[in-house]
Amino acid sequence: MMDTLLSLRAACAAPWGRALLQDINLQLAPGQVLGILGPNGAGKTSLLNLLCGATPLTAGEMLLGNRPIADWSIRQRACAQAVLPQQSSLNFPYTVEEVVLLGRTPHATGSSVDREVLAATLEATDTCALRQRLYTQLSGGERQRVQLARVFAQVWRAQDAPLRLLLLDEPTAALDLSHQKLIMESARRLASQGSAVVMVLHDFNLAARYTDLCLVLEQGRQQALGSAQEIFTQEMFREVFRVEVTVNTHPALDIPLVIQ
Amino acid sequence: MSTISAGSPPVNRSARTRRVLLALYLLLPACLLLALSSGAVMLNAGDILAGLVATLGGGDANQATVIIGQIRLPRALLGALVGAVLASTGAATQGLFRNPLADPSLIGVTAGASLGASLAIVTAGGAISGYLGFSLVSLGAFLGGLLTVAMVYRLAQSGSGTSVATMLLAGIAVTALAGSVGSLLEYHASNDMLRRISLWRMGGLDGANYPRLLIAGIVGGAVLLALPRYAAALNAMLLGESEARHLGIDVDRIKWGLIIWVAVGVGASVALAGTIAFVGLVVPHIVRLLIGPDHRSLIPACALAGACLLLLADTLARTVMAPSELPVGVVTALIGVPFFISLLRRRYQYGMQ
């Protein structure tokens, strides 16, 4: 297994002339879960867009599996990498099954494999009961879980690609507590099977509980990178988020607990 | 956000899709038979069979075989092809624009073709009669349609690709421009030309003959074979353009390819049968309500349903006021508009938003 799946060196992005991201340095190994945190407008989604190829790199270097990002074709990337955007504009009455199966578009693995992946990802997102309902008639949280099932389906099988990267923009934004837990555990399970996961999060306690690494952005610059334990300090919250918090230790787990 | 999850019924699509496709496969020959038998002279099954045999070079010629072979058969086949092309390009356009209310005329092809035809009628003036004249008008319409689409596509291009939203706005602008230039031409046209222009615009299959059927067969056949190859890409594009790109779809290439096929298909249809309203809008809409938006079955089902609808509309156009005829475009609009309005009012029930 390779040691670095994704690597950014002095990466900058300026899609509209103004620099949105400057000097980002990051190494991600297979099996790692990275959380991107930061105040509103700090560049979290811009970083995700840079990672997924929606905005080009303007300076620096970005390697995916030791190959420069420009060497990857659209199709190769789609086999290796799945992206959950913050919002979906789907307004055609697909059934839930049909939406999830769209995640298999880049793979030519045949319908029986696709059906197995469908069943597993519906399970992983608690959407089995919705499988024949119309996507357009679901609630916000249900839609979010269906979209998650779709991106899980795209990178579900290790044998479909040389490496796997899952990019999620606020995956738990519309979810209730039990589904937040379920989705995070499903993402962690994909990581334990060799995929790397990057997610934009707003909830520090979720980040502390489920990520290996956290990257804190402020005005497009990388302010901190490390485990939640290392970087979740009162000073960091004061400087970056301009808020006074208490950082305790979780009563049951050896992780920080952020209390406002 | 509307949350009606608790009440909405589950949908079992694959079985339903198979049933609908089977029904359409059976409906098409039935519509064809109806079109061949009805008209100013009603013919029975025996006459139709004799007519078909005679057309293929056997049997005796009589009045019935001439009606079938020379008039109704080319007209019915042309109608079926045009209907199939209009409906399947309509489905592709709605998928491309991610808007169930889109229609090929949005990208300017219909307006451009109308202008091209008007231009041909006005410039050719008195020379425009008989077979050559009609071909000239058709050619003008076809070229006009293609040129307008090329213009719309150019306008929507920017450094970062082609924006479908800009294409839509450019389509509206170019349609308006073509319309006003057309009005200018009409203002200076003679009474006779005006009548030709307006009749041509209403659409009609009355000029059907074998040479035209051959052109329709080649162009329409190519379009009908090409569009299903875009089905998987269109399915992914309904999620959004960036989502489709993340699913490995080369979105700009797909857009460009689809626009070309839609322009060629609709341009040829307008050139051969005038503007026939609402087939490209209403048929995909109805079929989607029945079998859902999966383009792998939607496009073939739309082709079949479009062929049936245009055959029925043309049969009506020929028979309601027999022996005189209504333009088929008027009939499709008269059926299509009320139907479309009722769909608009009830679309929430079908999960359309």
Residues 6+ apart with CB under 8 A from B3: A139, A140
Give per-residue pLDDT as tens, A91-109.
888 999 999 999 999 998 8
Determine what percent of chain A is predicted with pLDDT higher than 90: 70
Contact A52 B248 (CB under 8 A): no
Q: Count how many Cα atoms sit within 13 Å of the Cα of residue B285 in the half-sphere of its side chain.
A: 21
Which residues in chain A have their CB less than 8 angstroms from residue B248's CB? 74-75, 77-79, 105-106
Which residues in chain B have their CB less than 8 angstroms from residue A161's CB? none
How is B307-330 classified by DSSP, letter by letter?
HHHHHHHHHHHHHTTTTS---HHH
Q: Are residues B296 and B231 in contact, defined by beta-carbon separation less than 8 angstroms?
A: yes
Q: Are residues B238 and A94 in contact, defined by beta-carbon separation less than 8 angstroms?
A: yes
Give per-residue pLDDT as tens, A132-188.
999 999 999 999 999 999 999 999 999 888 899 999 999 998 899 999 999 999 999
Whose tokens are 């930061």? That residue is: A38
Contact B243 A94 (CB under 8 A): no
pLDDT at B37: 87
- Domain holding B119, by residue range, is 14-350
pLDDT band at A15 (very low <50, low <70, confident <90, very high): confident
pLDDT at B3: 40
pLDDT at B134: 64
In the DSSP assignment, the letter for residue B276 is: -
Domain of B297, CATH number, reads 1.10.3470.10
Q: Are residues B107 and B96 in contact, defined by beta-carbon separation less than 8 angstroms?
A: no
Structure token pair of residue A48: 């995700």
Element (H, E) at B303: helix B295-319
Q: Rounded to 5, what percent of chain B is helix, strand, coil? A: 80, 0, 20
Whose tokens are 């197995």? That residue is: A116
B294 vs B21: CA distance, rounded Å = 13
Which residues in chain A have their CB less than 8 angstroms from residue B235's CB? 98, 102, 105
Which phi and psi (to 5°) does residue B10 adopt?
-70, 155
Name which of B95, B102, B99 is nearest B234 in CA terms.
B95
Q: For A90, which of B4, B232, B239 is closest by C-beta distance?
A: B239
Contact B248 A105 (CB under 8 A): yes
Paired strand residues for A197: A33, A166
Which residues in chain A have their CB less than 8 angstroms from residue B240's CB? 85, 88-90
Domain membership of residue B247 (yes or no) is yes
Structure token pair of residue B351: 């999960």
Count of domains in chain B?
A: 1
**How buried is A128 (Cβ within 10 angstroms: 0-12 exposed, 13-18 middle, 19+ buried)?**
middle
Find the length of chain B.
353
Average pLDDT per 10 consecutive residues for chain B, totaling 353 residues: 45 83 95 87 78 74 78 91 95 88 82 88 65 73 88 78 78 90 86 81 78 90 96 94 92 90 90 84 88 94 95 90 80 81 67 50
B141 vs B121: CA distance, rounded Å = 10
Which phi and psi (to 5°) does residue A200 adopt?
-80, 130
The domain ranges of chain A are 6-259
Paired strand residues for A193: none
B348 vs A147: CA distance, rounded Å = 22
pLDDT at B6: 43
Looking only at the bridges linking them, the beta strands covering A221-226 and A246-249 are unpaired
B51 vs B220: CA distance, rounded Å = 25
pLDDT at A29: 93
Residues from B contacting A (CB-CB < 8 Å) are 1-5, 8, 10-13, 98, 100, 232, 235-236, 238-240, 242-243, 245-250, 288, 292-294, 350-353
pLDDT band at A113 (very low <50, low <70, confident <90, very high): very high
Q: For B8, which of A78, A88, A134 is closest by C-beta distance?
A: A134
- Report domain A6-259's class: alpha beta
pLDDT at B346: 67
Q: Residue A59 pLDDT more than 70?
A: yes
What own/partner pairs with CB < 8 Å and gap ≥ 24 does B13-18 have? Answer: B13/A95, B13/A98, B13/A132, B13/B291, B13/B292, B13/B294, B16/B290, B16/B291, B17/B291, B17/B292, B17/B294, B17/B297, B17/B301
Q: Are residues A227 and A204 in contact, defined by beta-carbon separation less than 8 angstroms?
A: no
Greater confidence (A42 vs B45) lies with A42
Count the Cβ atoms, other than its own, within 10 Å of residue B46.
Answer: 9
Give per-residue pLDDT as tens, A65-95.
889 988 999 999 999 999 999 888 888 889 9
Q: For A98, which of B243, B292, B353 is closest by C-beta distance?
A: B292
Reduce the DSSP state of residue B28 to 3 states and report it: helix
